Amino acid sequence: MEQADIQTRKLLVVDDDETVLKLFLALRRKYNGLLEVIVLQSVDGAIKEMERGCSPDLILADVSLPKKSGIELVEWIYEFRKDLFERLYLMSGYDRGAISLNPLLTQYPNHFIQKPSILKPVTRIIEQHLGLRKRQEPSHL
């Protein structure tokens, strides 16, 4: 499939770390406008967005957030927006074993990104899951 034939894809990022949020906003440029990035700092904000009809093509959420955790987002999506469940990836600075006790997380064990090195795994997920390719940077001779 040609990249020109691909419609804009929507990425929802739920994280309270400013550095991570800036990274995701910068990713928009790498995909020639084919990636719409919505960044929210809370699970409640993400839930409100989805209740309003937002259907992201991919959701990346931090596990450790103030008030409600990324695990609570997983549970909400599973109960109310099951159509989005397999589009959800969790990110954490904690070891995967620390969050794997939730039985919902065992359904998609590879939907986990270990922080802090998230750029390469996120790029791979965007390219595989959304079918997008990064803009080719001009080579300098």
Domain range annotation of the chain = 3-130
Please, are residues 41 and 13 in contact by the beta-carbon 8 Å criterion?
no
**Residue 137 in this model has a pLDDT that exceeds 50:** no
pLDDT score recorded for residue 24: 82
pLDDT band for 3, please (50, 70, 90 cuts): very low
Please, are residues 132 and 60 in contact by the beta-carbon 8 Å criterion?
no
pLDDT score recorded for residue 15: 92
The pLDDT tens digits of the residues spanning 4-51 come to 456 889 999 999 988 888 888 788 778 777 888 899 999 999 999 999
pLDDT band for 107, please (50, 70, 90 cuts): low
pLDDT score recorded for residue 99: 58
The pLDDT tens digits of the residues spanning 69-95 come to 888 998 899 999 999 988 999 888 776
Query: Between 70-80 and 43-51, two packed helices, what is the crossing angle to 10 degrees?
Result: 20
CATH 3.30.70.20 fits 3-130, yes or no: no
pLDDT score recorded for residue 132: 74
Please, are residues 132 and 3 in contact by the beta-carbon 8 Å criterion?
yes
Count the Cβ atoms, other than its own, within 10 Å of residue 130.
19
